[in-house]
Amino acid sequence: MDELPIGRRVAYWRGRRKMSQQVFADRLGKSKSWVDKVERGVRRLDKFSVVYEIADVLQVDVQLLLGKDVERRPETQNCIDQVEVEEIRAALERYDQMSAFFQAVPHSPPLAEMHKAVSHAWLTYQHAKYGVLARMLPKLLRDAQAADSAYATGAEAKDAAHLLGQVYQIASSALRKVGEHELSWLAADRSIAVSQRAGDQLLAGLASFRVGSALLALGRVRPALEVNVNIANRLAPAYEPAHKGERLSVYGMLLLNGAMAAARIGDSATVRDLLCGAEQASLELGGDFNHYWTSFGPTNVLLHRCAAAVELGDGRAAVDTHEKLDVVGFNALLPERRAHHFLDIARGYTQIGNIEKASEMLLEGDRLAPSEIRCRPLAHEVLSDVLRRTRGTPPAPIAELAEQMGVGV
């Protein structure tokens, strides 16, 4: 997009922000005609003050409007910035499968290399290294798409499709973390179709889980609840021993995600039923495992009990459950899951008015996995709430964290 005139870039970002020309003009204090002329290149933008104002309204770095590389500040290195989001979007917009229908794919990495790269990407996500993941995702998406096309008709077709399905899910999860919910939904939806070609019901179940998570983030709560519960019912563990642990894990995560959706609409009875079902699955599983990268088990069920209580506005129940957590089991979980819980329980403490403990939880999460706290819009909201309700000057660690996150004290 660098070679486009600035007016076209303005039009592009206005469209991305889903603003009409009239709304955009109103926010700038200009006329709709002025905006139209700028976007068509009839009117020049020759004042930097106006360019900066446009960038502020569009919530983009001014360098993007000027067609220049964004200078990344050191504290944003572990987050996903706008440039990286656009690179991921560009990779998702490719349709290599259709090109392969007409001609052979020129290059595809060996599947053995792809397996290693996908496993590395999952671990990077579960260690909450979102900036690192964002920088590897565009190439990983292109490679996985090329492999899926290259092996589409061979004996390795299902293996290649399986890998692409996983990459779409990784992208969906990472994009949802940083607030790119529409793009997260697109990647998750892509994973469903690819997972079906891979012939793996559990991968398709997890793709449905990602779709449900994206829908929930978009505020589409009832569809999120329905997709999780419907697929969970179809994946209810059968009696065959093969892959029982994996099936229990995917089934349990669907129930947990459904419980979070039910909590969002205040349906406490459904929350209770789904959490009980997940707890039963975790007990049958017999421990905390990371089958299919789910981190499912009794400990994760308890973390979701806390999170669901927070969504229901019952901070006291969330805190009580948190205080009963098995420390050994909790510490064995990967950093993303633990830091996510610290963010949830910080919200719980704010609900009962314990701002000091809420601050401690945010700092614990930041020490464990900085990206989970510093990169997530939800964490910014919680920190803002903590600062607003802190009497007097905030403690130095919280004030420092707020400064690093760009949250006003």
Q: pTM for the full model?
A: 0.80
97 pLDDT band, cuts 50/70/90, is low
Task: State pLDDT tens for residues 211-230.
Answer: 999 999 999 999 999 999 99
Q: Whole-angstrom Cα distance, residue 351 to residue 318? A: 10
Residue 37 CB neighbour total at 10 angstroms: 15
Q: Whole-angstrom Cα distance, residue 202 to residue 244? A: 11
Task: State pLDDT tens for residues 50-78.
Answer: 887 888 788 676 777 777 655 444 444 47
Out of 41-50, 51-60, 236-245, least confident range: 236-245
Is the predicted pLDDT of residue 102 greater than 60, yes or no?
no
Is the predicted pLDDT of residue 311 greater than 60, yes or no?
yes
Amino acid in the structure at residue 209: F
Domain definitions of the chain by residue range: 6-65, 83-219, 334-409
Quote the pLDDT of residue 83: 79
Residues 279-307 as b/e (b if ≥16 CB within 10 A, e otherwise) read: bebbeebeebbbbbbbbbbbbbbbbbbbb
Share of the chain above pLDDT 70, in %: 91
Residue 163 CB neighbour total at 10 angstroms: 24
CB 327 within 8 A of CB 361: no
- Which range is most confident: 49-53, 75-79, 233-237, 240-244? 233-237
Q: Whole-angstrom Cα distance, residue 302 to residue 284? A: 15
Task: Spell out the SS3 assignment of 117-166.
Answer: HHHHHHHHHHCCCHHHHHHHHHHHHHHHHHHHHHCCCCCCHHHHHHHHHH
CA atoms within 13 A on the CB side of 91: 24
Element (H, E) at 53: helix 48-58
Average pLDDT over residues 254-275: 98
Q: Whole-angstrom Cα distance, residue 55 to residue 60? A: 5
- What's the CA angle centered on 114, arms 108 and 116, to 5 degrees? 155
Task: State pLDDT tens for residues 160-197.
Answer: 999 999 999 999 999 999 899 999 999 999 999 999 99
Quote the pLDDT of residue 69: 54
Copy the structure tokens of residue 256.
Answer: 């947990």
Q: Whole-angstrom Cα distance, residue 274 to residue 87? A: 38
Is the predicted pLDDT of residue 322 greater than 60, yes or no?
yes
- What's the CA angle centered on 344, arms 255 and 120, to 5 degrees? 70
CB 84 within 8 A of CB 135: yes
Quote the pLDDT of residue 72: 46
Quote the pLDDT of residue 76: 46
Q: Whole-angstrom Cα distance, residue 107 to residue 114? A: 13
Question: What letter would DSSP give residue 293?
Answer: G
Amino acid in the structure at residue 94: R
Name the residue among 187, 190, 11, 193 with its Cα closest to residue 89.
Answer: 187
Name the residue among 286, 283, 344 with its Cα closest to residue 314.
Answer: 344
CATH class entry, domain 6-65 = mainly alpha
In DSSP notation, 174-232 reads: HHHHTT-HHHHHHHHHHHHHHHHHHT-HHHHHHHHHHHHHHHHHTT-HHHHHHHHHHHH
